[in-house]
Structure 1
Amino acid sequence: MPRPARLLIFLVLVYAFCWIKGWPAYYDDEELPPSQRPKSTTALGEHRVTVDHLTVTVITAATDAYTKLAPALLFLDGAYHKELLLMGDLMMDIGPFPVFDVLAKLPRKYVEKTDELERYKRQLDYVRKGIPLDHLPEKYSDKEKAVLSALAKYKIFRAMESTWEYRPKRDWYIFTDEETFIDRGNLLDWLAQYDPKEKHFFGNPPIAEVPDAFAAAGTSFIVSGETMRLLFEDRKKMVQNWKNWDPRIPDYPSTIHLIDSFLKTELSLEMKSFWPGVSGFSPTTISYSPGLWCEPVLMMHHVTAPIASKLYKFERERVDDHKIDNALRYSDLWYRFMGPEDLNGTRHDWDNLSSESTNNRWNILFAKDGEPDENRATRGEDSWEACKESCDNNKYCLQWSYSSIAANNWNENGFTKCHLSSSMRLGAHAEPEEVEVNGETQSRTWTSGWRKDHFKRWANQQRCKNQQH
């Protein structure tokens, strides 16, 4: 073979080798160890932390462990199992996952004399006698919620103590519940702003004078490794803290109120809000609006198993499409959960949450009688058709709901039948509900509608940094 031909073949082979070597290789997220996974482009600071230094402690109740916690574990990426701890009120196993009874750390005499621990005492009695725990919950959901909320206060100190015992010297610690979705990539990017070797405490303050103080805020909180070290490295100090604080637990209405007061008193540490990245919303209750549109999603609460399943599938699709290194934003959830919904027609027996307490900042005010105001809506109290017309004629309105009996808007509007919103929410099917009006029981129904096309035109013009659809 002539020398020029051999040289040409050699150059072609070298080029081919370089081209193949440089070909991009994609891996599923779980195929790589945490330290080698693609890093998000949205880090906000220099204090980068890997997932193996973010410990997540889920606090559960024995009566919820199989119905709420088990599905959540099913949807959790195996790469996050090592830094997961489960704390509850009964020693039990959910498949390969142990749940620790942190209330067993409380002094026996303290348990015996504390009224709010009555459920715990009954629960242990049921277990000894072999009585199924599904006989424990209260008949009415509101009462059951109050019982579990009270019980949660007594778990938190010992859950934090046990977390430090099992996973000491991590950079960050999350304390949360079973129905919380966590985007660890986004959360670690957000936490990169803060030095874990300093004291930090992140949470959202509850909202007073509404039916659910945590509907918008969620119940989770995050503390830095330094905060945990100061609390638990010195065991004598820890024991003294429990002697001082255990008697005070009944005085607090919730876990967040208790922890806020405890850290403020013992460490002079104030709570910092992490709203809107962390919220009490789920994809179907988010108030989609310009203010939230491009915000990264860090954590969501009240995520039921069916919604968690859809989120799991959505995350897998993002991995398959190689979008995992782009921050998940509220806008992505709109396209995934609201985009496919047919919202052009009116839905009867449906509440889109226009009047719900967490929507009060987006609930549109009505003009006062005899005082026309172009920034306010006209009242549409006569019928759902009149309410729809009021929304269609208001430049800010994106959705409306109509209740057959007046309901609170949690703002200046007070109680009305027509409820207008400048945000978009999906909501859910709503069966007729019994309400008391002037001493009489009446049935209230809900009808809802949206201006989805109007919102979609706006949404399609928005561009969030590094966002893909």
Structure 2
Amino acid sequence: MAILRYSQGKFVLVVVCFLSLLITSKRLAEWSLRSSSPGVPSIRRPYASSHGNLSNFDDDAAASTDLTSSSVRIHDPLCDSFPDISNILVIVKTGASESYAKIPTQLVTVLSCVPDFLIFSDMEQDIAGYHVYDSLDTVLPQVKVQNPDFDLYNRQKYCIVDQQSCSVDIKDSEKPEGWTLDKYKNVHIVEKTYKLRPDYDWYLFIDADTYVLWNNLVQWLSKLEDPSTKKHYIGSMSLINDFSFAHGGSGYILSQAAMRGFVGNNSCIANHYDQRARDFCCGDYVLALALSDTIGVEVEQAWPTINGEKPYTIPYGSREWCHPIVTMHHMEPEEISSFWKFEKRFYESQEFPRPVIRFKDIFEEFVKAKLLPERYDWDNLSEDVLYLDPNHPERYTQKQKDKDRTKKLMKQYHIPAVERDAYKSFKHCSLLCSSVRNCFQFSYHHGACAYNKSFRFGKPAKKTDKKEERWMSGWQHRRIYDWAEEHQSCKEPVWPNIR
């Protein structure tokens, strides 16, 4: 009788396991279908990778996806001349508290002509007919339990209104909850992406406020070594404790070989870093650590082509001027829309083959006409050289003090008056910039005069009634215009030194 009970129990266990496998298989199939970008579903994409085939669904499934998609995506004539990105998958990372504010603009601009893409967040959602995956549902339970990093993740599931309203009274400006939670995402997103879409040559990972210039990207990637054999991890390099990683907001690129080696050959690789992520600041750092540990890949520097700035904060100068640009970061929805319109106008005025958009083109469109001799309540982000008020050292950060030229001048016997007095007022700071041949712009704030050897537009500064604390900025606009005219002609595109 005991043997019979054991056999029956074993049979029940086998049945349960079999049913679990069926449910899991069905869910994965639904994921694959739901995650196809409406308009041109991945199961129909023309690209046929040598490492697999995404077109393994039946015609009925494909037809049902087409029917769903046609009601979601409106055709943009720009897509008729869109570059072939059928071997590139773009993956967007966002958060539930911001997704409805940022994703819709991406869908009608940057992603509007993209045949296939994935969106990951910290909560499963559907936005305007597009599915958003929960990147954190596979984090180890023991890491989530009694971990304050996951307070937002747990709380937002029970929000009965919009997510932004549920979080508005709990935000901590010094350590935002979304930022703390974000560090667990990147490795899981990479793992989930490869399981859902294992057949692409290139995988581009971006944030919801990242802008992508597709024509530039396609031209650049076509020049790189075979992604099926070369393990590429490409991005704008950042450093923490002398360890380099690709800055996530700027976007980073992994090749097929890197994805296959990292995810395909290592089961549940993301869970190996769940506990370790608690000790680090950022998800892009954790991913770089995992790639280095697992497949020995280090980030390949692609700055300034992959860029963390946007049109108004980019420092324009000889280093960047003729370079093509592929990504920009911290783009507000309004800025994304404006740049998308610029791209459309730019390419409509050009003949095939399409030229690349360079930094100089962005300057001409977005910055040149806005430069004035002076602009109040404005920070133009000047920081190359500083002259600080020696009577009030308590006002300044250590970073500012390290760049302070006034302190260095005090050691000299003779100090030029224009430098000695630069910290005294906006007018004195302006006179200094005029006297320095390679000064293109300057700013004055709280007794600090700063000037730049490149030029950028900057951002509004907080208004104040205290005159000494008011931000004021100025540009040597005629000097800038002359420089731009002298450097108007660019030769062949200067791409990052990556093979």
Question: Which residue in 1 is equivalent to 2:359?
Answer: 330
Question: Which residue in 2 is equivalent to 1:291?
Answer: 319
User: More deviation in 293-302 or 363-372?
Assistant: 363-372
Question: Which residue in 1 is equivalent to 2:204?
Answer: 174
Matches within 5 A, 1:302-341: 302-322=330-350, 325-341=354-370
Residue 457 of structure 1 deviates from its aligned partner by: 0.8
- CA distance in 2 between counterparts of 1:320 and 1:145 reads 44
Question: Which residue in 1 is equivalent to 2:253?
Answer: 222
Please give the per-residue CA displacement for 1:22-80, whole angstroms capped at 9, x wherever unaligned: xxxxx964224x5xx4xxxxxxxxxxxx4111111111001101112222222225321
Residue 207 of structure 1 deviates from its aligned partner by: 5.1
Residue 305 of structure 1 deviates from its aligned partner by: 1.5
Question: Which residue in 2 is equivalent to 1:201?
Answer: 233
Question: Which residue in 1 is equivalent to 2:165?
Answer: 135
Instruction: Judge conservation of contact 1:205–1:217 (CA < 8 Å) in 2.
Output: no
Matches within 5 A, 1:188-267: 188-191=218-221, 192-197=223-228, 198-206=230-238, 218-234=249-265, 237-239=266-268, 241-267=269-295
SS at match of 2:486: coil
SS at match of 1:279: coil
User: More deviation in 169-178 or 146-155?
Assistant: 146-155
Q: Are 1:156 and 2:155 matched, yes or no?
A: no
- CA distance in 1 between counterparts of 2:492 and 2:270 reads 47
- CA distance in 2 between counterparts of 1:63 and 1:193 reads 37
- CA distance in 1 between counterparts of 2:278 and 2:215 reads 37
SS at match of 1:260: helix
Q: What is the identity, as a one-letter code, of the residue corresponding to 1:382?
A: K
Q: What is the identity, as a one-letter code, of the residue corresponding to 2:326?
A: L
Instruction: Judge conservation of contact 2:96–2:123 (CA < 8 Å) in 1.
Output: yes
Matches within 5 A, 1:26-425: 29-32=78-81, 37=83, 50-76=84-110, 78-80=112-114, 82-126=115-159, 130-137=160-167, 143=173, 146-191=176-221, 192-197=223-228, 198-206=230-238, 218-234=249-265, 237-239=266-268, 241-322=269-350, 325-341=354-370, 343-355=371-383, 368-369=409-410, 370=412, 379-403=421-445, 405-406=446-447, 417-425=448-456
User: More deviation in 376-385 or 424-433?
Assistant: 376-385
TM-score (normalised: structure 2) = 0.72
Identity, in percent, stands at: 26
User: More deviation in 322-331 or 246-255?
Assistant: 322-331
Q: What is the identity, as a one-letter code, of the residue corresponding to 2:409?
A: K
- CA distance in 2 between counterparts of 1:433 and 1:222 reads 43
Distance 1:451 1:378, change over 3 A: farther
Q: What is the identity, as a one-letter code, of the residue corresponding to 2:443?
A: S
Question: Which residue in 2 is equivalent to 1:22?
Answer: none
- CA distance in 2 between counterparts of 1:348 and 1:65 reads 34
Q: What is the identity, as a one-letter code, of the residue corresponding to 1:222?
A: I
- 5+ residue gaps in structure 1? 1-26, 38-49, 407-416, 435-440
- CA distance in 1 between counterparts of 2:383 and 2:187 reads 36
Question: Which residue in 2 is equivalent to 1:448?
Answer: 473
Moved over 6 A (4+): 213-217
Distance 1:182 1:219, change over 3 A: closer
- 5+ residue gaps in structure 2? 1-75, 386-398, 494-499
Instruction: Judge conservation of contact 1:217–1:278 (CA < 8 Å) in 2.
Output: no
- CA distance in 1 between counterparts of 2:323 and 2:170 reads 37
Instruction: Judge conservation of contact 2:384–2:452 (CA < 8 Å) in 1.
Output: no
Q: What is the identity, as a one-letter code, of the residue corresponding to 2:126?
A: D
Distance 1:218 1:99, change over 3 A: closer
Residue 382 of structure 1 deviates from its aligned partner by: 0.8
Q: Comparing both chains, which one has the higher relative contact order based on Cα–Cα distances under 8 Å and sequence gaps of 6 or more?
A: 1
Q: What is the identity, as a one-letter code, of the residue corresponding to 2:251?
A: S
Please give the per-residue CA displacement for 1:99-146, whole angstroms capped at 9, x wherever unaligned: 1112122244432233211110111122xxx24322333558763763
SS at match of 1:311: helix
Instruction: Judge conservation of contact 1:219–1:256 (CA < 8 Å) in 2.
Output: no
Residue 329 of structure 1 deviates from its aligned partner by: 0.4
Q: What is the identity, as a one-letter code, of the residue corresponding to 1:294?
A: C
Question: Which residue in 2 is equivalent to 1:464?
Answer: 490
- CA distance in 1 between counterparts of 2:359 and 2:414 reads 35
- CA distance in 1 between counterparts of 2:259 and 2:339 reads 31
* Residue correspondences, number: 394
